[in-house]
Amino acid sequence: MLKSAVRVTPDAPEHIETDLALERGITRRGVTSGARSLTEPNMRIYLAARYSRRLELCGYRDELQKMGHTVQAVWLNGEHQISDTGTPIGEHGESLVEGHLRSGERLSPEDKSERAGELRSHFANEDFRDVINCQLLIAFTEPPRSEASRGGRHVELGIALGRGKLIAVVGPRENIFCWLEYIRQFDTWEQCKEAINRLC
């Protein structure tokens, strides 16, 4: 069960203890109080993964929504992708920077850079807001050192850790933080989904 994996240790950072105590009724001594826990029928869930797995995660989002949960992960809707050069691109590879130009309008390299920067900042703010507002973050990991990636999903996991969110990992324990005692690891999505059903 997901909630049984959460325990505050004497060396836990103070802000984590505070958030955990509020969300899960746990004190520094690890004793459960009567505070609200995450056993509500409708949880706010964020799904974190490589962008290339977006369509796969859209399927998981559909399953969670059918279970009565809210999946707030705007990036799954597409258009949060950037090229290797940092240019925001759409689902079909088109440049979003140039996609909103009026007929005949041209952008200088400086304007392209500024508009691309605004889009990147917008994407980051949307993702940050979604992670901050979730109750449960599910991180879909990859085998360690299996491929190069930008690492945004690792930042999302770190934000969730810092905010004391409930966290589940689906896949291998990709980095040292996946071994924290209050993170529950599952080999498959089906195992994770079953645990969420038991939790709620």
Residue 130 is which amino acid?
A: D
Q: Kindly report the pTM of this predicted structure.
A: 0.69
35 domain-assigned: no
The answer to whether position 19 is within a domain reads: no
Domain range holding 157? 40-199
Return the percentage of the chain with pLDDT > 90, whole number: 42
Select from 3, 8, 4, 49 the least CA-distant residue to 28: 8
Report yes or no: 119 and 96 within 8 Å, Cβ to Cβ: yes
Q: Domain for residue 115, yes or no?
A: yes
Determine, yes or no, domain membership for 121: yes
- Domain membership of residue 9 (yes or no) is no
Q: For position 75, which CATH number holds?
A: 3.40.50.450
How many structural domains are present in the chain?
A: 1
Residue 13 falls inside a structural domain: no
Residue 28 lies in a domain: no
For the chain, what is the radius of gyration of the CA atoms? 19
pLDDT band at 13 (very low <50, low <70, confident <90, very high): very low
Which tops the pLDDT comparison, 13 or 177? 177
SS (H, E, C) 88-129: EECCCCCEHHHHCCCCCCCCCHHHHHHHHHHHHHHHHHHHHH
pLDDT for 128: 95
SS (H, E, C) 42-87: CCEEEEECCHHHHHHHHHHHHHHHHCCCEECCHHHHCCCEECCCCC
Assess whether pLDDT exceeds 50 at residue 93.
no
> Where is average pLDDT lowest: 14-18, 37-41, 89-93, 189-193?
14-18
pLDDT over threshold 90, residue 6: no
**Is the residue at 15 inside a domain?**
no
Q: What is the pLDDT of residues 99-121, one digit of tens each?
A: 454 455 555 555 566 766 777 78
